[in-house]
Chains A and B, each alone.
Chain A
Amino acid sequence: MRHSKSLILAVLLLLLGSAAYAEDDMDALMAQVAPQDGPVIATFKSTRIIDMPTTEVVGKGDLNFSLSHHLGPISTGPGQAFGLDMAKIRLQFEYGLTDRLQVELGRTNDGFKPVDLSLKLRVLRQSTSGSMPVSLTVQAAGFYGTSFTGSDTLLDLTPVRRISSTYHLLIARKWNDKLSTELMGALVLRNLYPSVTDHFATPIAGIGGRYKLSQRIAVTADFAMIVPPTYNGQNYSPVAGIGLDMDTGGHIFQVFICNSPWLNDDRLLTETSGSLGDFGTDMRIGFQINRTFALGK
């Protein structure tokens, strides 16, 4: 009896051994062919969380068109369609020169009505194996004011004075298929600023993220502030927003509530005065529609 027990064991071991061997040869073959590591994709669905740029760049030969609005304060009530009548608009084209580098052209109808041009470079990309834990992207943008009104026209508006620029350092991590977070460091250089206590250079820090509720819908939030908060003497408010990303298959539709009227980064980051605490008077509805066209092959 004991004899047969050990025999059963031997046979079982043999069977297990051959089964394991069968998988071993497959694993060995896979290891030769399939890349064991690859880039983490779709950390974010769009090139912006809400007001903060994401680490994403459009792919080579792809053209992404974005139409964004920040409405007036919700508190303006039904008479102004909760801010619709004060809507600011921004058009933006992003084109992928390579899979890592994109150029962007934008125009905003707010403030100095700036035209802006930026370069965004994906420096590091998070890898599936974890050997690279984060994605890192840098962006530099130049804004050129095209329209000055009121007391601003009394200034000597040399071309240099019309220019401001922003520099972003973005670090993001996709923690799992639902949660992605991002840290932002930014510097804004303005040749025109609203008061003598203000500065040419303004440092900004920000944090944001998204959480996917389903395959197509995600909750997003971002927050950015001047550091230290009293740096430019104006006690400007942090910029914050909370929203939803909807992936319709062809378009990414983003709708949100935020506290800044600005759509151009130079003034969004430095001159947001809408207070976060006062939801009634300062919060506004905004949205952004993104459509990518594959131009190159």
Chain B
Amino acid sequence: MNRTLTTLLLLSASLSCAAVVTGAPAGKVMCRDGYVKFFSKTPMEDILAETHTTVAIFEPSTAHLRVRMMISSFVFPNHLMQEHFNENYMETDKFPMSIFEGTAQGLDWTKLKAGEANPVTVSGDLEIHGVKKHYDVPGTFKLAADGTYSGDAVFKVRIADHGIKVPSIVTKNIAEEVEITLHLQGKIEVTK
């Protein structure tokens, strides 16, 4: 009886605050205006789209990072391209959001240099077009003097990995691997 209780307490304790990072500030960093760029390069055509409304929550104490992005928020230079992107490739009606959940690894808060880009690897599952895939993305993490946390990363996504089909007639215009550029930033807003 006593042992059950202890086990449960330990279990709940370890689950609720998994891997507490030493030296990390408490609270949550909230990002409302995260930038994501999508770039597809082929000899035929370069396709670029951007969004500035990506949302993220980062908890320094657990290094847990959650990102959400509305696919329809991507802005293309041309209206038809944007419609095709949503209608034919991303099926935005069915899969309106892209979601990432993971942890920032390799962050040593005791050695963190303020105002400098510190290397970090973010590991977790990225869901695009309803298909989840594990990524380990190297990037940088920065803490500015005014208390703004920011994270930057550039990585590649194979569109076939996420079940996005490109008809053979346009395969020359759309790259098999698209480059994603990410910039998230925010301050600690929730302190508990």
Residue numbers of A with Cβ under 8 A of B are 1, 3-4, 7-8, 11, 14-15, 18, 22, 25-26, 29-30, 32-35, 38, 41-42, 58-62, 96, 99, 176-177, 215-216, 247-250, 292, 294, 297
Contact = CB atoms under 8 A, between A and B. Distances in A.
Interface in B142-192: 165, 167, 169-170, 173, 190
A215 B169 CA distance: 14
A122 B88 CA distance: 23
Contact of B16 (A18, A61, A249): A18
A99 B75 CA distance: 14
Given A7-B8, A11-B8, A294 B80 contact: yes
Interface of B: 1, 4-5, 8, 11-12, 15-16, 28, 30, 32-33, 53, 55, 57, 66, 68, 70, 72-73, 77-81, 83-84, 86-88, 91, 93-94, 165, 167, 169-170, 173, 190
B16 A14 contact: yes
Contacts of A30: 55, 68
A3 B1 CA distance: 9
A59 B57 CA distance: 35
Given A215-B165, A249-B169, A60 B79 contact: yes
B167 A62 contact: no
Contacts, number: 96
A38 B81 CA distance: 18
B1 A247 contact: no
B190 to A, nearest CB: 7
B32 A41 contact: no
Q: Which 10 A-B pairs have the closest CB atoms?
A: A59-B79, A294-B78, A249-B170, A42-B87, A34-B70, A11-B12, A177-B93, A292-B80, A29-B55, A33-B32
Contact of B88 (A4, A18, A35, A215): A215
A80 B134 CA distance: 60
Contacts of A42: 83, 86-87
Contact of B87 (A3, A34, A41): A41
A62 B79 contact: yes
Contacts of A3: 1
A281 B111 CA distance: 86
A248 B167 contact: yes
20 contacts: A1-B1, A4-B5, A18-B16, A22-B66, A26-B57, A29-B32, A29-B57, A30-B55, A34-B53, A34-B68, A41-B86, A42-B86, A59-B79, A61-B79, A99-B79, A248-B169, A249-B169, A250-B173, A294-B77, A294-B80
B167 A249 contact: yes
Contacts of B4: 4, 7
Contacts of A62: 78-80
A215 B88 CA distance: 6
